[in-house]
Each structure stands twice: as structure tokens, then as C-alpha cells.
């Protein structure tokens, strides 16, 4: 499983109503999937824990897509 | 003997379907333990025991849809003798629409005993078979079991035969029907009044930025949790907004069980409560809010969270519009709304400067209180949010 797939799997745990096959990994997740701020924070927190990456407060606005998150985790772990 | 009954999710719920027992006869249960799984029109919820005891009898078969208040199980104290047979016949499964509820009482109403047919034998089934039956949407009633002692096992559960005609494509979902019932009743019976007040969030957001800067993302606090905290604290001085209107009288609640509306992407919304919210600091509210949202999306809310709300908060979030005019969820008597936090011109001394602001709204029941007190409540909310560190 690629890192991108793992991130998607984490998202589907936080938002079990999301169909993983429908997710465009290059499009912002919040608008694409109608995630609310609690969903997104819980998702980022879960990613930080699973990949032992400390996601900084200032970086959050830049982490909008699965691709953004993949690059961020790859370069910070 | 104590009884576990089909709980009510509110004015709009008349019946529920028992999906699963998580306990067996003879098991010891404590107050708050999850004993089963119940499906309603709005959600699947975990059924909790409201007492300590030993499971004496499970009285309703799996898959049966029974009216709110029906005794589902009986508990006995450790010293009590087990009863050989059920003392009350289970209520018959609902086959026709249940008459409209006229006077629901949270958390669960007790219906008078309904004379019914002889109690059906309990269906023995394996967890895997029950899971499969739920997935296929079939009832285990009438299925012949081939497992030990006639228990229904996985291989016995087969998909239902194809239907002759597909369901009506434009029929409203049960969730939409449940919302329609509750909101129609609210608009029909509750004389709402509405108040709005714009609150500066400058100090609140600055405080959150400072607090969050020293925290990991796992412990970050969102503005929504701070708003919930402010509402819970403000309610201490406004008991007339917290409680229920039942049988032509207001029954204030000692506890603040704060429901928060969660929009479901599958359609509709659900409003589980954070229990005793006024006694919980903002960190704990944030943690519980996150937990509630995850469980609401996964269908794992507890019956107490869905039946005991004393007031509701609806927050439109970052992507919402500036003001919400919410509708009270009966039998509650008030609902507080928050629009999106937006930058607006704000008079500070003699200058007009940009401030982050939120429009707080209150819809309240005129049978219980008036605009004057409602206005004071919103002013209190404003005052509390100007000193967030003290919250």
C-alpha cells in the first residue's frame, strides 16, 4: 500500500461515509467531500499519530489534498 | 427487577428496531454499559443500561420493530431470584404507523403495557449471522438455524429474493421523514422568538492561537469548542432556556446536556449531546466533540447521547453563512446558533477596524421566557467570550 493509499484509508476511518474510489487525490478534500473542521482536524491528528509526524499549526492551511499530505509526510518523517 | 426499554430519540421517534443484543441472560451489567444495538429512523444507536443488575430476560427478538417504551430486557439484583418465564408479553412488532406522539418525556417514555400475542421464542444466532443479516437488510425471524441447538449461523442467512417492483425512487428517506415530523411539530406548537447578536471574536481567537501554538495537533482546540463552553457556562444563569416543555408545563433541567447538530453527508443531521457540558473544561469539550462527530459518522452513538439533550447548539462552521435562524427541537425550549466567524468592520474606541466576529442567535420558546431574558443570555455569552482564559 502506498503512502497515498494509507492516507486515504485513514480518511475513510474518520469519515466512513466517504467512498474511497471517488476521491480525487489532487483536489482539496474539504470542498470535495464536504468535511467539516472537526473531521479535518481529527483526520490530521490521526495522520500525525500514525506516521509520527508533528504537523505544525502554521502548515495546516497548506495541507488541502491527499497529494499535499503525501508530500508533507514524506518530507517530515 | 428493573427494565430496559426502547428509548426515544425525541418527539419524532415512535418506534425502534432491535438489531443486536450484546449481553446474554445471566450477564452482569453496570449502569452505562452497552447492552444492545437499536436502529431508529434517524440513526443506529447503542442501547445503554440505566441500572446495575444481572440480565434476567431478553424479551424482544432481534429484528423486531417495537414502540418506544417497550420493555426490551429485564434486570434483577444480585440477590433476586431469576424468573422462570417472562412476566410481561413483549409488545407486538409495529405493523402499522404508530399514532403521533402527543407528550414525549425524555429520556424515555413508558407506554402502558400493550396486550400482545404470546411471546415469540428468542432467536439464537451467531454474531456473524447477525452482522450478515444487517448487511443484507433481512430479518432473522423465520430463518431456520442449522447451528448448535438450532442457532442461526452465517450459512443460514441468505439474500432476500428480488422484489417484483423497485421502491419508489423519490420517496423521502426515513431520516428526512423524521426531521420533517420533528420540525413540523416544532413550528406548529412552539411559539418561537428569535434574537441575534454580533460578538467580537478577536480575544477568543487570539487566545486560541496562543494556546494552540504550544500544543500538538492532537490537542488543538477549535473555536466551536470554545463556543460550546461559553453556552454551557452562560446557561447556569438562564435555567429557563435549559429543559423541556412537556404536558403544558416547563420542566427545567438541573443538568446541561448540550446537543450539537452534526450535518451528515449521507443526508440529514443528527444532534447528539455532550452530557453535563457545564462541568467540563474546554479541552474536554473539544475531545468529546471530536469523538461525537466520528461516532455520529460511523453510527455508534449511545442512547443516552441521543435522548437526553436539554438544549441544542447549531454551528455553521467556517464554510457557512453569517447567520442561522434555528428551529427548536421539541421538547427542548431553546436552540443557540452560530454563523461562520467572519471579518467585519468593528468600532474600537473612535476607529473602525476589522475584527473577526460571529453572529450568535437564539431561538427560544415564548411559552417559557421572553426576549428580555433571551437578550441577556446573548449578552452574557458575549461577555464570556471576551475573557476566554476564564472559561
Question: How many other C-beta atoms are found inside a 10 Å radius of the C-beta of residue B291?
Answer: 15
| Domain B190-390 bears CATH identifier 3.40.50.2300 | no
Q: Which of B212, B218, B317 sits opposite A57 (nearest CB)?
A: B212
CA distance A74 to chain B (A): 18
User: Dihedral sign, CA of B178, B183, B184, B188?
Assistant: positive
Question: How many other C-beta atoms are found inside a 10 Å radius of the C-beta of residue B143?
Answer: 17
User: Dihedral sign, CA of B187, B324, B336, B217?
Assistant: positive
Say yes or no for a CB contact (<8 Å) between B265 and A34.
Answer: yes
Placement of cell 503525501 in the chain: A70
CA distance A10 to chain B (A): 12
Three-class SS state of B93: coil
- Strand pairing partners for B263? B269
Residues 259-278 of B with CB under 8 A from A: 263-266
CA distance B208 to chain A (A): 11
Measured between beta carbons, the chain B residues lying within 8 angstroms of A16 are 297-298
Looking at the domain B2-76, which fold is it? OB fold (Dihydrolipoamide Acetyltransferase, E2P) (2.40.50)
- Show me where the domains of chain B are located: 2-76, 127-157, 190-390
Number of cross-chain residue pairs from A and B with Cβ atoms under 8 Å apart? 51
Cell of B199: 460578538
At B96 the pLDDT is 44
To which H or E segment does residue B376 belong? helix B371-386
CA distance B266 to chain A (A): 7
Q: Is 60 exceeded by the pLDDT of residue A45?
A: yes
- Nearest-angstrom CA–CA distance, B263 and B269: 4
Q: Are strands B301-302 and B269-270 parallel, antiparallel or unpaired?
A: unpaired
Q: Rg of chain A over CA atoms, in angstroms?
A: 11
pLDDT-based confidence at residue A65 (cuts at 50, 70, 90): very high
Phi, psi (deg, nearest 5) at residue B60 = -125, 135
Phi, psi (deg, nearest 5) at residue B75 = -115, 145
Helix axes B371-386 and B223-234, enclosed angle (nearest 10): 130
Q: Does B293 touch chain A (CB under 8 A)?
A: yes
Cell of B389: 482564559
Q: Which residue of B has its CA nearest to A11?
A: B294
Q: pTM here?
A: 0.74
- Nearest-angstrom CA–CA distance, B278 and A20: 38
Measured between beta carbons, the chain B residues lying within 8 angstroms of A34 are 265
Three-class SS state of B205: helix
Q: Does B290 touch chain A (CB under 8 A)?
A: yes
Q: What is the mean pLDDT of each run of 10 residues along chain B (391 residues)?
A: 81 79 90 86 81 90 87 87 56 47 43 42 67 73 72 74 53 85 96 98 96 91 97 98 97 97 91 97 97 91 94 92 97 98 95 97 98 98 97 93
At B82 the pLDDT is 74
Measured between beta carbons, the chain A residues lying within 8 angstroms of B205 are none
At B103 the pLDDT is 44
CA distance B391 to chain A (A): 21
Question: How many other C-beta atoms are found inside a 10 Å radius of the C-beta of residue B45?
Answer: 28
Complex ipTM: 0.90
- Nearest-angstrom CA–CA distance, B157 and B220: 46
At B95 the pLDDT is 46
Concatenated DSSP letters for chain A? --HHHHHHHHHHHH-TTS-GGG--TTS-HHHHHT--HHHHHHHHHHHHHHTT----GGGGGG--SHHHHHHHHHHH-
Buried residues in B297-334 as b, exposed as e (16+ CB within 10 A): bebbbbbbbbbbbbbbbbbbbeebeebbebbbbbbbbb
Q: Does B51 touch chain A (CB under 8 A)?
A: no
Averaged pLDDT score across all residues of chain A: 93
pLDDT-based confidence at residue A43 (cuts at 50, 70, 90): very high
CA atoms within 13 A on the CB side of B246: 18
Measured between beta carbons, the chain B residues lying within 8 angstroms of A45 are 217-218, 220
Measured between beta carbons, the chain B residues lying within 8 angstroms of A39 are 293, 297
Question: Exposed, middle or buried by CB within 10 Å (0-12, 13-18, 19+), for B244?
Answer: buried
- Nearest-angstrom CA–CA distance, B314 and B63: 33
CA distance B338 to chain A (A): 14
Task: Give the E-state strand segments of chain B in sequence order.
Answer: 2-5, 15-21, 28-29, 34-39, 44-48, 53-58, 65-67, 71-76, 192-200, 243-246, 249-252, 258-260, 262-263, 269-270, 273-274, 301-302, 311-315, 334-338, 342-348, 351-365
* Residue A7 contacts residue B254 (beta carbons within 8 Å): no
* Residue B93 contacts residue B42 (beta carbons within 8 Å): no
Say yes or no for a CB contact (<8 Å) between A38 and B222.
Answer: yes
- Nearest-angstrom CA–CA distance, B40 and B217: 35
Amino acid at each position: 500500500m502506498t503512502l497515498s493509499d494509507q492516507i486515504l484509508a485513514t480518511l475513510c476511518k474518520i469519515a466512513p461515509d466517504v467512498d474511497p474510489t471517488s476521491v480525487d487525490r489532487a483536489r482539496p478534500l474539504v470542498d470535495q467531500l464536504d468535511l467539516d473542521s472537526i473531521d479535518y482536524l481529527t483526520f490530521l491528528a490521526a495522520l500525525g499519530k500514525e506516521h509520527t509526524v508533528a504537523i505544525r499549526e502554521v502548515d495546516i492551511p497548506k495541507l488541502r489534498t491527499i497529494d499535499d499530505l503525501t508530500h508533507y509526510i514524506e518530507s517530515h518523517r | 427487577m428493573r427494565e430496559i426499554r426502547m428509548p426515544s430519540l425525541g418527539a419524532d421517534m415512535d418506534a425502534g428496531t432491535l438489531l443486536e443484543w450484546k449481553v446474554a441472560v445471566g450477564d452482569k451489567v453496570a449502569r452505562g454499559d452497552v447492552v444492545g444495538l437499536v436502529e431508529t429512523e434517524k440513526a443506529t444507536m447503542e442501547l445503554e443500561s440505566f441500572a446495575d443488575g444481572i440480565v434476567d430476560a431478553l424479551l424482544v427478538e432481534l429484528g423486531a420493530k417495537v414502540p418506544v417504551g417497550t420493555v426490551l430486557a429485564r434486570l434483577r439484583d444480585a440477590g433476586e431470584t431469576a424468573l422462570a418465564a417472562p412476566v410481561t408479553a413483549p409488545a407486538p412488532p409495529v405493523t402499522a404507523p404508530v399514532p403521533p406522539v402527543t407528550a414525549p418525556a425524555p429520556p424515555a417514555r413508558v407506554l402502558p403495557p400493550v396486550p400482545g400475542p404470546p411471546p415469540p421464542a428468542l432467536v439464537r444466532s451467531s454474531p456473524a449471522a447477525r452482522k450478515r443479516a444487517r448487511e443484507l437488510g433481512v430479518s432473522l425471524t423465520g430463518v431456520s438455524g442449522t447451528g448448535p441447538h438450532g442457532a442461526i449461523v452465517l450459512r443460514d442467512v441468505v439474500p432476500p429474493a428480488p422484489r417484483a417492483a423497485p421502491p419508489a425512487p423519490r420517496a423521502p428517506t426515513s431520516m428526512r421523514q423524521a426531521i420533517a415530523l420533528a420540525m413540523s411539530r416544532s413550528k406548529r406548537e412552539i411559539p418561537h422568538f428569535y434574537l441575534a447578536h454580533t460578538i467580537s471574536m478577536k480575544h477568543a481567537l487570539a487566545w486560541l492561537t496562543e494556546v494552540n501554538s504550544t500544543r500538538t495537533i492532537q490537542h488543538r482546540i477549535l473555536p466551536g469548542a470554545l463556543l460550546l463552553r461559553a453556552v454551557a457556562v452562560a446557561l447556569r444563569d438562564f435555567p429557563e432556556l435549559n429543559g423541556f416543555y412537556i404536558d403544558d408545563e416547563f420542566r427545567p433541567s438541573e443538568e446541561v446536556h448540550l446537543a450539537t447538530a452534526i450535518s451528515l453527508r449521507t443526508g440529514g443531521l443528527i444532534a447528539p449531546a455532550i452530557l453535563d457540558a457545564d462541568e467540563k473544561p474546554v479541552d474536554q469539550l473539544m475531545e468529546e466533540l471530536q469523538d461525537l462527530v466520528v461516532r455520529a459518522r460511523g453510527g455508534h452513538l449511545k442512547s443516552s447521547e441521543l435522548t437526553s439533550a436539554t438544549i441544542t447548539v447549531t454551528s455553521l462552521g467556517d464554510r457557512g453563512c453569517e447567520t442561522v435562524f434555528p428551529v427548536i427541537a421539541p421538547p427542548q425550549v431553546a436552540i443557540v446558533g452560530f454563523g461562520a466567524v467572519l471579518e467585519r468592520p468593528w468600532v474600537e474606541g473612535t476607529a473602525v477596524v476589522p475584527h473577526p466576529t460571529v453572529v450568535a442567535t437564539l431561538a427560544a420558546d415564548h411559552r417559557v421566557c421572553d426576549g428580555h431574558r433571551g437578550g441577556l443570555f446573548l449578552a452574557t455569552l458575549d461577555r464570556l467570550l471576551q475573557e476566554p482564559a476564564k472559561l
